[in-house]
Structure 1
């Protein structure tokens, strides 16, 4: 046994280039999985840390359903027997000079010490925070510009104690830093100074509480207040991230799917490259078990080496992907600068485990082939070509059965989104099993085309693809899956983008927008009143958006001027029409499609929201298409909103002008001038559309990265298949030479084989990718986000995949072609 194993392992240093290719292929597959999984974990862990910091030691938080809380409440809490500790908080956003958003937390340092004690610990070498000397504390309390900043953000911005921090709300003076407890950039300021900064005298955003008796406290204060436990808030945030987490898991599974394909192709290549050695050992008396065990040892060595390298590469990749995932969270939820997971040898161990496991799994069929190996045929260098068609038919039958299972799963997909994901993977797997049969059917057409282009070498190349289906079908399937992913994801993103453009054209039609819908940003109401009284303007729409809990989930409530939107916009109505603005003026509401699907609501249904004066009931008048939030949006007239929530704050203002007004530009310039005087950002309609699309494009950066990674992985699959064919057909090359084929003709034959497999992969990916896009758009997207994406298949993913197929397959053929020029014809003739 040891002799057979040593004989196998001596091959590795003799064929270093082939061994390196095999190890690199496994490493790429492992890196794809490790990189995606660890980047997703890092981003989600950072999100959890940010939420944990905001909650601190508080057991509950107390706030109005919408709008600020009168600080007179604090006097009652001081004497409340069920309150152990409390801390008033103002929680807002400002932008730094570089445009980066940062959370500004207004606190009372004496009361907040029990809620967020970690923040009051001394920081790094110079950071003393509010536990430092008395002078620092006095400056924090008395200086209206004094702030503290978390030490990581200060270090990244090269700010030291005494530095000036320039923000959208003016200049602050950095007193000191405190330990970075959250991946979210943070500035802390005395709550009294924040009240003056945001014109909130006598008002706060919320109160963080540590309660002794939850039930007694809630029963006394439930009227007009929203009291949530920290666990409830965490569950709401978890619900917000549910769809995002599912999509990250899906990307990880896609990486796993393609990675296992590559590893299987690599082990198949290893079997082909060692077939003759196995035949020699079998002819010398080695048993089948000894040969298979020796090969399995080699596979485990490859898996271990590739897994270790893949773990290292995957960790480096995860650091890059973590930033992209964090950017997506920042775009969708709140600004986050997630930190990659710290280096640990467990990452390499995980890579080694996955590399070995996937290698063993991928080598099952190659090992079965090795067990059935005929020593005579192996010594002759021939494959069991006759069994290829038989195996292809069996695989096709399994593929048809899998596609039938896919249809059943698609019918059941409304039950749960995981069923939709399973259906997508089942479809890809079923299509890959059918690849061999489809390749055999396409081969005659390929033979005719290649014959016209290259004559006899082209026809032979097409025939080689057909005769070696047990090799080529796997490589074509892997490449087809990668290209299908590129087409499917590209079509889904393109359709989503076109749907978003259509939506913007129906709802966002103001000439200019003032302010921002970002969390914590406000437009002064007095500015709104000033603009509304300007003569000549067509209409001014004040917009307010707040998050409130509804049936255990977080939904958005938006306040608008119904009369203005009725006149100047053309909403995309799912149910109802423009006439439904009339009941909205009378106190009814319209809801987004995502709200309708999420809560299974119906037209005419009455919903109950918790208002500042108790429960308020609203009838659903209509439903509209919306892509602002997957959690659901309830839109009501501003008059109704003020009566329900008594919240006069504004996020933004839309200014509409009548078409053809000769003073249009003059009036808009005046509005911009007044907005600039108040320090408010102004966006034209085109600028706003461009900004939204920029956020959209950055949100899908991770998905695009996985598309590229899948193509790279499949590239190695094509290269491995071509090398396998080269090794198995060395005897044939000698015959070609004896028949008068030149080196260039044999090289052209090899190139055409690579391009042929690439083009067949592309043709199949057009169909498979389009169906995959349909599943993603009509099944998974609806289940994940509860909104409709209209199917607009763009041409760019198809063109890009076609170019990629040609370049990748031609590039994968370069090394085999180099081997042809280097070894042809002498070695083959000697063997013959």
Structure 2
């Protein structure tokens, strides 16, 4: 108890040191907690929505992108007696100014075995209204409040560019909290209403089934398969959820790994704090050992102090992470919407598992970092504990061994990076080993560079400069760790920045080759482009004849559901002159394009080939309107639009095998002498098409596009606008990494401030002697800033090679294993300048407080014990 009180008294006597340690732990734990909350909230929202909408279905029937004929459901239920079946029409609605709603059209009379939406109607007449009146739907009461509508109100929704009014006839009352969270941002309608709103009259999205287990289930599925039209397939319901979760796994894993980096930097801070705690009390510990206190008791006292710091810092970090988690969830959700699938997260609910993980990491990291200095204090004989020079001498002897251990760690890390079978986790493990190994090399590099810089600093600052350079080496036990912490943080910023720059420059080059048309036209709306409603056929024909366009490209993008997950297929018809602009990893060439145009082969994107282990010459199976068909792969092209990958097929082959002549995108190539802006202006003003189209009646197209209440609006965008929008999505995607970079550098700044305070406060007697023999306060400031500035320069220089190593690992190993992309490495000079400026600024700013404190301290007061 006496030792515990002594340890607590030491913490209260030096509150700034304890506070800085607490802040370091709190920031590290806070970042990990925030990322975990964001990942888990997004996953729970998706999982609950899928479970609630999917219900108790064991399988579902999926058709072609056009859907299933609703006559199939009639045949299954009435003619074949498959009573445990339910039709579903599903899609997305845009609510102007309020985001996205997921629409689910159901048959209320078939729903009981599948889903329990808890339909509530205030009056009996509302039930009849829901079943018989067009454009009616049900919402959660909370969703209705968010949309500012009440029962009996109508609100505006958009689908495929069409605007509709939807009447709220009642509310959903789910039976439990899981179902309630799954129904956030969901509107439930009857089948007919959903078909009309989504433009799927006579078609179903899927048919849900509940199949018995064993032989009876197999017999029923064979019976159902005999009724299926070509292009339809029975898919296990569980596979859909698992495949969609797998799509975001690499994204979530990368975020988690980046958040742990802040905790690693925080561990350096804890190590600094506990080392200073031991060194500052070396006389006290020596006296305790001399009067009979055992090593175990000393070790327990120091570990107890670390435990207090760890617990308080972890609690603060969890609170901070909870606050950060809401904003980070918004960024994560936005990225998932941009890259993967539509997702709405209404609330962030902290889970016990998140807090347990954060507590384990925070307290565990604190104790791990505190173990070496605590052990050092117990293994040193009492007489040598009192001597400061003993510690520095021992540290100088350990510097070569630390460097050797660092090389071994970096070698082990390189092995993880080179062995592809180690996967994404192996890649991050290898990167972690390289970072730790490099950090172990920093003390030796600090000693070497300090000696190299000593003549230069001496020539600039005289004796004060020489003392500053020697001070870095003389206190290597603290400066080495402080410099390593700053090197790790700045190199992380440098490495992630280089990775983002490499990715961005690669995407810019890809856009130059992919976006060749001058103006693009597509269905209006804010969807992702997957299964968008097609353009009106007459509009396609008329717009294709606009004057000023030398050529027109036509595209159709669909998603084919399968047991292995969704497959994106892009059917396109482009001018031959654009063939040369596409870049291939494998295959390609004019012969390939000829076979592609005839519909004999397909091409796949690099991520698709990587995920499915495909090479040129192999084949893939796609479910078409004529059944499953195999297509030879003739090329693997670079594509950065989706990490799930895409299959490219000629439009002629798509029409032949999918029986779908529709188009959801058009590209217009301006004639020579016609500006893209002028061409876009013509396409945006349909009332002027009478003067731009040959053989078209005046105002015909304008009237249909502008005045018809059921007409679909189109979106016209120029090449430069589309490029800008794409790069905006890219920048939004990496906004999360920017936040994590900032937090990591903040942790490092706190760490370097703590270390410099420890060094300068420990040298207070030395500075007092110098002040007593004539050193002015200005010279004291100069010596302290010379020392901190030298640490900043050394940290900046050492962070550049480590940052480059991290960038290489991220670009060529981790991103490749995570997403299947090949990126062009880019390491700009501005990143080197940023690293030097950042490390110098952090070190100099951290030196202000110790310099001000010590330069203004009276020499007599500092020497009162002598």
Equivalent residues of 1:574, 1:625 under 8 A apart: yes
3-state DSSP class of the match of 1:681? strand
Change (3 A) 1:150 1:375: same
Answer with 156-165 or 582-591: which moved more: 156-165
Determine if contact 1:92/1:520 at 8 Å carries over to the other structure.
no
Q: 1:370 aligns with which of 361, 371, 377?
A: 377
Partner of 1:475: 482
Deviation of residue 492 (structure 1)?
0.6
The residue that corresponds to 1:124 in the other structure is none
Which of 171, 175, 187 aligns to 2:169? It is 175
Query: Aligned runs of 1:551-590 on 2, under 5 Å?
Result: 552-561=564-573, 563-564=574-575, 566-567=577-578, 570-579=581-590, 580-587=592-599, 588-590=601-603
Q: SS of the residue aligned with 2:823?
A: coil
* One of 255, 264, 287 as aligned partner of 1:280: 287
TM-aligned CA deviation for residue 348 of structure 1: 5.7
Q: Deviations over 1:711-760 (max 9, x none)?
A: 01111210121122123212211221133111222223222322222221
The aligned length equals 820
Q: Matched residues in 1 for 2:355 and 2:92: separation?
A: 40
Structure 2: distance between partners of 1:315 and 1:442:
42
1:147 aligns with 137
Tell which deviates more after alignment, 79-88 or 20-29.
79-88
Matched, 1:456 2:463: yes
- Residue 708 (1) aligns with residue 742 (2): yes
- Distance between the aligned counterparts of 1:682 and 1:617, measured in 2? 36
Gaps of at least 5 residues in structure 1 are 122-127
Deviates more, 1:502-511 or 1:175-184: 175-184
* Residue 625 (str. 1) matches residue 619 (str. 2): no
The verdict on how the C-alpha distance between 1:350 and 1:276 changes in structure 2, with shifts beyond 3 A counting, is farther
Three-state SS of the structure 1 residue aligned to 2:621 is: strand
C-alpha distance in 2 between matches for 1:815 and 1:385:
25
Q: Output the aligned Cα RMSD.
A: 2.6
Distance, in Å, in 1 between the alignment partners of 2:677 and 2:42 is 45
In the aligned structure 1, how far is the partner of 2:645 from the partner of 2:563?
A: 12
Aligned CA distance change for structure 1 residues 319 and 369 (closer, same or farther; 3 Å): same
1:652 Cα deviation from its structure 2 partner: 2.4
**2:399 & 2:55 partners in 1: Cα distance?**
60
Higher mean C-alpha displacement, 187-196 vs 423-432: 187-196
User: What residue is the counterpart of 1:825 in the other structure?
Assistant: 859
Which position in structure 1 is the counterpart of 2:722? 688
Q: CA deviation at 1:300?
A: 1.6
C-alpha displacement at 1:43, in angstroms? 2.0
Distance in 2 (alpha carbons) for counterparts of 1:19 and 1:809: 20
Q: SS of the residue aligned with 1:83?
A: coil
Q: By how many angstroms is 1:698 displaced?
A: 1.1
Quote the Cα distance in structure 1 between the aligned partners of 2:351 and 2:636.
50
- Structure 2: how far apart are the matches of 1:154 and 1:253? 39
Partner of 1:783: 817
Deviation at 1:278, TM superposition (A): 1.6
Distance in 2 separating the partners of 1:46 and 1:196: 28
**Unaligned stretches of 5+ in structure 2?**
174-179, 687-701, 707-711
User: Bigger shift: 47-56 or 546-555?
Assistant: 546-555
Q: Which moved more, 1:454-463 or 1:496-505?
A: 454-463
Q: Is the 8 A contact 2:531 2:558 kept in 1?
A: no
State whether structure 2 residue 56 is matched by structure 1 residue 57: yes
Match of 2:73 in 1: 74
> 1:37 maps to what in 2?
36
| Residue 326 of structure 1: aligned partner | 333
Q: Look up the match of 1:673.
A: 685
User: Does 2:123 match 1:133?
Assistant: yes
The superposition leaves residues 278-306 of structure 1 with CA deviations (integer Å, 9 ceiling, x where unpaired) of 23333444333322222222222222222
Per-residue deviation, 1:443: 0.6
| 1:554 Cα deviation from its structure 2 partner | 3.2
- Per-residue CA deviation, residues 244-295 of structure 1 (Å, 9 max, x unaligned), is 2321332243233223233222322322333232233334443333222222
Cα distance, 1:701 vs structure 2: 1.9
Change (3 A) 1:176 1:498: farther
Match in the other structure for 2:696 = none
CA deviation string 1:337-378 (max 9, x = no partner)? 325543467766654444332222111110122113454555
> For residue 166 of structure 1, what is the aligned residue in structure 2?
156
Q: Given the superposition, is the C-alpha separation of residues 176 and 651 from structure 1 closer, same or farther in structure 2, using an over 3 Å criterion?
A: farther
What is residue 698 of structure 2 aligned with on the other side? Answer: none
Q: Are the equivalent residues in 1 in contact too, given 2:184–2:346 (CA < 8 A)?
A: no
Alignment check: 8 A CA contact 1:93 1:520 kept: no
**Would you say the 8 A contact 2:67–2:204 is kept in 1?**
yes
Residues 515 and 521 of structure 1 are in contact (CA less than 8 Å); yes or no, is this contact kept in structure 2? no
Q: Partner of 1:729 in structure 2? A: 763
2:699 corresponds to: none
Deviation for aligned residue 1:192: 1.3
